[in-house]
A and B are shown apart, each in its own frame.
Chain A
Amino acid sequence: MSAETFATRIWLLLVGLTLLSAALADGAAPGLLTALVALAVVGIKGALVIRHFMGLDGRFPRLRRLMNGYVVLVPALLFVLGSVLAR
């Protein structure tokens, strides 16, 4: 598979994950499971963009970890923070 075809598949995967997020926003009942799925989708989409579009592959482990950490940890910490403080 060419790099171009692979990138197009990554884009289609991102489109699919975005539609999943939209379906969650419209249909799913608010709750822990919905939030966890939404957080997972953010992490996966962010990691795909960082790896395949930004070009931060295995040659740049620290920068990639930093960027991946942002898209995974920031939303997760905000959710935990919001849940704990709301009690």
Chain B
Amino acid sequence: MTPTLAPAADEPHVAPPGDLAIWFFILAELLAFAVFFAAYAFARAKNPALFDEMQLTLNRDAGAINTLLLISASWCVARGVHAVVANNDSARASRWLLGGLAGGGGFLVVKLFEYAHVFGEGITLSTNTFYMFYISLTFFHFMHVILGMVILTVLWAQTRKGVYTPDSANGLESGAAYWHMVDLVWIVLFPLVYVMR
């Protein structure tokens, strides 16, 4: 069997990790982003030349670095959950969650540098359709990263207190699932806005 950080398949626990409500919330968030992505695709289809030209003005290295930061943060968070659920090791989990927070913080710093450069060039929401979507779509995601970091901070504080145990890790798993959703959205957003032409 392929090893995984998830509990073994023959365990009687069959509910998805975390609270069921968080999965409805995650699906609703993904739907909201899908609508945003569809609006971007429609706008791009109307003016592909503008979008291709403007896409080349983006800092693709910053986009790639941010992808690496978010997937690394996701890995840290998954390891943190595993430390509690499989090993009942809250101290270790808090260190992994701190790693996740560092990844999220790094993402925000890189994104702020990107925004500073864009706004420094005099670009605003009304510069053109591409930048209207670029700024609003990435800022919408940026706000989700901030919310995810608030959640991770709470989880980190709770693991430091040893609140979660293998039998009582619903809150930890729910918060982690939300963070992974933020990562998933960026996995789609990065190629859509920065790569595909």
Please report A residues at the B interface, Cβ cutoff 8 Å: 1-8, 10-11, 14-15, 18-19, 21-22, 24-26, 30, 34-35, 38-39, 41-42, 45-46, 49-60, 63, 66-67, 70-71, 74-75, 78-79, 81-86
**Overall SS of chain A's interface:** helix
A–B pairs, 15, beta carbons within 8 Å:
A1-B3, A6-B3, A18-B67, A25-B63, A35-B196, A42-B191, A46-B187, A46-B188, A53-B183, A59-B6, A75-B37, A79-B41, A82-B44, A83-B45, A86-B45
Q: Are A78 and B190 also in contact (CB < 8 A) when A19-B64, A54-B180, A86-B45 are?
A: no
Verify B30–A70 contact, CB threshold 8 A.
yes
Q: Closest B residue to A5 by CB, please name it.
A: B3
Q: Are A18 and B64 also in contact (CB < 8 A) when A46-B188, A74-B37 are?
A: yes
Q: Closest A residue to B20 by CB, please name it.
A: A63
Residues of A near B60 (CB, < 8 A) are: 22, 25-26
